């Protein structure tokens, strides 16, 4: 009965959280920016799937799973099929997911953790103004994965509390964990770690039925999906995993992942340490840390590339926000009653200031989404690859091919057949150690474009050590291939000679001369790391 009396107030607080999120979005999130380079890759897959071509990188070619956010891609394609644009579908799912996750954080703290309104509201607000909407702005599906993770952890917390858990709850937990894994493959690891937390809290004997249902769901439904995707794509794992996980353990990724997790969750990680103050709460604290520390550690298996704004670790933020309040329950504040009215007032004001600082800290994480960010509201600047993709779209449908290291904006906006020379979206390259001359000969690309850190003013140093670096070796292969096959160097764009984009155009096809002229004379090519207008170094003599 008491909870029913509190319902109108909880609904009011929920509306306040939603209003705060919308206000924050309208004032502090720039939705006018184009997709971030990596986000445009998934948009290409979603567009092709919605067009009835299957999950393909290039229309008419064999399926390839370069879009690791599988269920997000499928959901986006469904909305595109219903009439939304690609951008509207991607951002719509992300925005709705963010709102729902904010509400889940609040209601889980209130009704499952039995936390008070201030702590629950603070947790929801911390998430609302964090980096979630910045991922939406950049067209990433990160909040969708976070929503699934938050839902699974909520059900896990219910299982921890209920001594005689109903069948439906165990089934819902398993299904939600499966959905988390279908959105991103590492979701399987996260869901399994949540199951381990439930076992630690309930004990193995009291968790047998939960384990059984979880295992059956993942074995039958998850196994069916796994076998389907193996048959459909030809390989058991997403294509980027073969490229990003082929060099053994990645200790730099492990370190970055732990630091990202700590940075995103720092205030509540510190507060959660209070859980070790009592023997009764120590076990609970350790159990709640299992999915957080375990998931962050799992990124030792792949390289850290494409981890825009720590998006790989973001799903841990709502989990942390739903885990800290039970660990501080029972703290004794009776000493406040011994203080004077003035002293209590000062403490109250200080507490409000502290809460405001926590919210500000969460907002401040939006200031370090990229290493070259210059504004907290705008994570990246104008990007010449976006404008070049728009220019090349004029030639869409002519069967032209671009081979590029920049497999996001250029392929998506141009609509050209594209070779991702790094291999994230190319099964041959990912599974064969890199691109080859024979593979380039198969396509005979009309444009070869690559990003590297040299120019005519700063020529590449072709030392054995440099050529052993995979990125450098790849760009030298592309450069040598273009020059050996009569390609015309149309442009070398960069705001410094140490960081450039090369554009080679093959000679002798219908639009080659016009493309060379358009690319070489392009005035609006802003360099993505600075937003400055680029210099075309193609005409500069080598020293």
What is d(CA 202, CA 156) in angstroms, rounded to the nearest whole number? Answer: 11
Query: Which stretches within 218-277 are classed as H helix?
Result: 223-233, 239-244, 251-272
What is d(CA 506, CA 13) in angstroms, rounded to the nearest whole number? Answer: 61
> Within a 13 Å sphere around the CA of 92, how many CA atoms are in the beta-carbon half?
14
- The answer for residues whose C-beta is within 8 angstroms of residue 505's C-beta and 6 or more apart is 446, 447, 487, 488, 490, 512, 515, 516, 519
Task: Give the domain ranges of the chain.
Answer: 2-326+335-368, 384-539
- Tokens 């299992």 appear where? 290
| Phi and psi at residue 424, to the nearest 5° | -65, -30
The conformational region for residue 68 under phi > 0 = left, psi -120 to 50 = alpha, else beta, is: alpha
pLDDT tens string, the chain, 543 residues long: the values are 455 567 889 999 999 999 999 999 999 999 999 999 999 999 999 999 999 999 999 999 999 998 889 999 999 999 999 999 999 999 999 999 999 999 999 999 999 999 999 999 999 999 999 999 999 999 999 999 999 999 999 999 999 998 888 999 999 999 999 999 999 999 999 999 999 999 999 999 999 999 999 999 999 999 999 999 999 999 998 888 888 776 678 899 999 999 999 999 998 888 888 888 888 789 999 999 999 999 999 999 988 888 999 999 999 999 999 999 888 876 666 666 677 778 778 877 888 888 889 999 999 999 989 888 888 888 888 899 999 999 999 999 999 999 999 999 999 999 999 999 999 999 999 998 899 999 999 999 999 999 999 999 999 999 999 999 999 999 999 999 999 999 999 999 999 999 999 999 999 999 999 999 999 999 889 999 888 899 999 987 776
Specify the DSSP class assigned to residue 277.
G
Other Cβ atoms closer than 10 A to 66: 25
pTM flag (> 0.85): yes
3-state helix, strand, coil in the chain (%, to 5): 65, 5, 30
Specify the DSSP class assigned to residue 526.
B
Task: Return the closest-CA partner of residue 489 out of 526, 535, 536, 442.
Answer: 536
Taking a C-beta distance cutoff of 8 angstroms, is the pair 77, 445 a contact?
no
Taking a C-beta distance cutoff of 8 angstroms, is the pair 36, 381 a contact?
no
């Amino acid at each position: 009965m008491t909870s029913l009396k509190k319902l109108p107030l909880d609904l009011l607080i929920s509306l306040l959280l939603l209003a705060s999120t919308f206000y924050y979005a309208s004032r502090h999130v720039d939705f006018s920016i184009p997709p971030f380079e990596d986000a445009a890759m998934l948009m290409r897959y979603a567009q092709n799937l919605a067009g009835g071509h299957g999950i393909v990188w290039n229309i008419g070619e064999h399926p390839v799973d370069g879009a690791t956010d599988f269920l997000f891609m499928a959901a986006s394609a469904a909305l595109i099929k219903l009439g939304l644009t690609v951008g509207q579908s991607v951002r719509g799912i992300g925005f709705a997911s963010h709102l729902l996750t904010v509400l889940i954080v609040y209601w889980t703290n209130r009704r499952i953790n039995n936390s008070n309104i201030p702590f629950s509201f603070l947790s929801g607000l911390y998430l609302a103004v964090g980096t979630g909407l910045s991922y939406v702005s950049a067209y990433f599906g990160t909040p969708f994965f976070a929503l699934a993770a938050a839902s699974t952890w909520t059900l896990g917390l219910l299982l921890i509390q209920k001594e005689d858990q109903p069948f439906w709850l165990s089934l819902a937990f398993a299904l939600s964990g499966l959905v988390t894994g279908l959105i991103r493959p590492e979701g399987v690891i996260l869901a399994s770690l949540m199951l381990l937390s439930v076992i630690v809290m309930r004990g193995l004997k009291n968790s047998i039925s939960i384990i059984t249902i979880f295992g059956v769901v993942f074995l039958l439904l998850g196994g069916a999906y796994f076998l389907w995707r193996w048959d459909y794509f030809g390989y058991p794992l997403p294509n980027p995993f073969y490229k990003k996980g082929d060099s053994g353990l990645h200790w730099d990724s492990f370190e970055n992942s732990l630091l990202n997790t700590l940075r995103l969750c720092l205030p509540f990680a510190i507060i959660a340490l209070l859980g070790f103050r009592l023997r009764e709460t120590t076990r609970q604290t350790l159990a709640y840390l299992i999915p957080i520390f375990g998931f962050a550690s799992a990124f030792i298996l792949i390289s850290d590339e494409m981890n825009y704004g720590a998006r790989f670790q973001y799903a841990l933020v709502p989990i942390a926000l739903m885990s800290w309040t039970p660990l501080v329950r029972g703290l004794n504040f009776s000493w406040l009653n011994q203080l004077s009215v003035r002293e209590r007032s000062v403490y109250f004001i200080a507490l409000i200031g502290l809460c405001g600082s926590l919210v500000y800290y969460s907002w401040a994480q939006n200031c370090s989404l990229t290493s070259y960010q210059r504004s907290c509201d705008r994570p990246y600047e104008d990007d010449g690859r976006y404008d070049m993709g728009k220019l090349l779209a004029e030639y869409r449908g002519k069967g032209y091919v671009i081979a590029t290291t920049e497999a996001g904006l250029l392929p998506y906006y141009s609509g050209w057949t594209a070779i991702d020379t790094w291999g994230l979206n190319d099964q041959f390259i990912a599974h064969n150690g890199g691109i080859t001359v024979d593979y380039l000969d198969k396509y005979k690309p009309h444009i070869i474009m690559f990003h590297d850190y040299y120019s005519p003013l700063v020529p590449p140093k072709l030392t054995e050590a440099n050529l052993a670096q995979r990125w450098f070796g790849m760009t030298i292969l592309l450069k040598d291939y273009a020059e050996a096959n009569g390609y015309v160097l149309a442009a070398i764009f960069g705001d410094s000679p140490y960081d450039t984009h090369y554009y080679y155009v093959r000679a002798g096809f219908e639009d080659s001369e016009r493309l060379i002229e358009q690319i070489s004379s392009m005035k609006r090519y802003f360099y993505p790391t600075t937003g400055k207008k680029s210099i075309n170094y193609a005409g500069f003599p080598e020293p």
